[in-house]
Each structure stands twice: as structure tokens, then as C-alpha cells.
């Protein structure tokens, strides 16, 4: 069966809501319910073909967005300093080894005056979505400690970003506690925007999340 997170990454908001209602009504898992919902949406094509087609569309949209952001950043780049003086920026990523399994979280927080915080920590056990959430929470907590009042936080998990952005109480039940914590932290900061980016643009946070899960790498760095 196709992994739950892969299905969530391509499901539309209304499809996720339909599958949650189906799971409750039919007393089946959210995973099985989402499979049924997407199979119905696929029609005559296979579920895999539907996923591949939607991912291709997502990639095209992400590439177009990245191009627009690059052009805008070039136009707005400060002339006298290499730092972004308009606010804080952060990146988060989480890893599970295996999935579910041991969790590692990673994050980077950059301040408008050159402040830099890096996060790399073990985070217990669970699945990759929980790891992503815990990484986002860690970055937001660092922003609160730093006194940030606005921030743009980047991550490559559509599951987490979409789950935070939908109405409270309608998200993924297994992640509700994490979502509630994220909303509390965002309220403490004031102005926070969560922005999805492709995994290739989140390489530092990814490396930090995997660092605690790779004993050989840790041993080399400690030598």
C-alpha cells in the first residue's frame, strides 16, 4: 500500500476532509479511507498514475514559485548589507529512521542582524510527520526566545504546512497536539508565514535532522 504521507502530499483539502469523514463513518483507518477517496478521484487511471500526475503539477508550480521568489529577492536585496533586514527566516526538517522509528529534528533560524541558530536533536520515536512537526516547533521556540515578532518559516512538508493552515479541529487527529503547540507559538511571535519549498532547497535543515540518526557521522565529527 502506498505510504500515508505520500497520499497526503497530493490529496486536495476537500479530499482529506472526505477521507476523515469516511474513516469515522466506516470505522477504518485514515490511511485506508484516503486510499479509497483518491482511487475514486483517479477514475479509470491507477492510483499511482494519479499521484505521479499531481506530483508533476506540484513540481511545475514549485519551480514557477521559486523563479518568482528569486526574481523578487534580487529586486529587494539590500545594497549595503548581506542580511535580510525585514525579519527572521527559518527552515525546518524532520527525519524518521525507519518510518516510523527514531526521530531526528533539524532547523536553522536567521535574524535580520546576522543572528544564526542551528538545531539538531533526537526527538524520541514516531513517524516522519511527527518529526516534521517537532522540528517546526523547535524553530518557532527558538524564534520566541530570540524575541522575533515576525518570521517566514520554510519547510518541505506539505502535510505539516497544510495541516497548520486549515481550521483548528479539522486537521489530522494524530497530529492535533503538535498543531495546537505550533499555533500557540505563532500567536506569541505575532506575524508568521509558513512557506513550502522543494526538498532540494532545504538541505541544511535536512542534514541537521539526520545528524543524530547517523552514529557513524557523529563519531567522525567527534574525532
Task: Parse the chain into domains and list their residue ranges.
Answer: 4-61, 82-222
User: Would you tell me which CATH number, out of the four given (3.50.50.60, 3.30.360.10, 3.30.420.10, 3.30.1360.170), belongs to the domain 82-222?
Assistant: 3.30.420.10
Confidence grade of residue 63 (pLDDT, cut at 50, 70, 90): confident
Q: Alpha helix (H) ranges present in 28-173?
A: 30-42, 47-76, 128-146, 158-165
Cα separation, 123 vs 140, whole angstroms: 16
Confidence grade of residue 81 (pLDDT, cut at 50, 70, 90): very low
- Sequence-distant (6+) residues with CB within 8 A of 168 are 179, 180, 183
Over residues 159-185, mean pLDDT: 88
Cα separation, 30 vs 12, whole angstroms: 15
pTM, full prediction: 0.61
Amino acid at each position: 500500500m502506498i505510504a500515508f504521507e505520500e497520499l497526503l502530499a497530493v490529496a486536495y483539502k476537500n479530499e482529506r476532509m472526505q477521507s476523515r469523514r469516511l474513516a469515522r463513518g466506516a470505522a477504518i483507518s485514515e490511511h485506508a479511507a484516503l486510499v479509497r477517496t483518491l482511487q475514486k478521484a483517479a477514475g479509470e487511471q491507477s492510483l499511482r498514475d494519479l499521484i505521479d500526475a499531481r506530483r508533476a503539477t506540484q513540481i511545475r508550480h514549485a519551480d514557477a514559485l521559486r523563479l518568482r521568489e528569486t526574481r523578487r529577492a534580487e529586486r529587494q536585496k539590500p545594497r549595503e548589507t548581506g542580511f535580510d533586514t525585514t525579519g527572521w527566516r527559518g527552515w525546518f526538517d524532520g527525519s524518521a529512521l525507519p518510518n516510523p522509528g527514531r526521530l531526528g529534528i533539524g532547523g536553522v533560524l536567521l535574524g535580520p542582524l546576522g543572528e544564526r541558530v542551528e538545531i539538531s536533536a533526537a526527538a524520541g520515536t514516531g513517524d516522519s510527520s511527527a518529526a516534521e512537526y517537532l522540528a517546526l516547533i523547535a524553530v518557532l521556540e527558538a524564534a520566541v526566545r530570540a524575541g522575533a515578532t515576525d518570521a517566514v518559516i520554510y519547510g518541505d512538508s506539505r502535510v505539516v504546512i497544510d495541516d497548520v493552515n486549515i481550521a483548528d479541529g479539522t486537521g489530522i487527529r494524530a497530529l492535533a497536539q503538535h498543531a495546537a503547540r505550533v499555533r500557540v507559538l505563532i500567536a506569541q511571535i505575532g506575524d508568521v508565514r509558513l512557506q513550502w519549498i522543494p526538498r532540494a532547497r532545504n538541505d541544511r535543515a535536512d542534514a541537521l535532522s539526520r545528524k543524530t540518526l547517523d552514529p557513524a557521522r557523529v563519531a567522525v565529527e567527534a574525532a
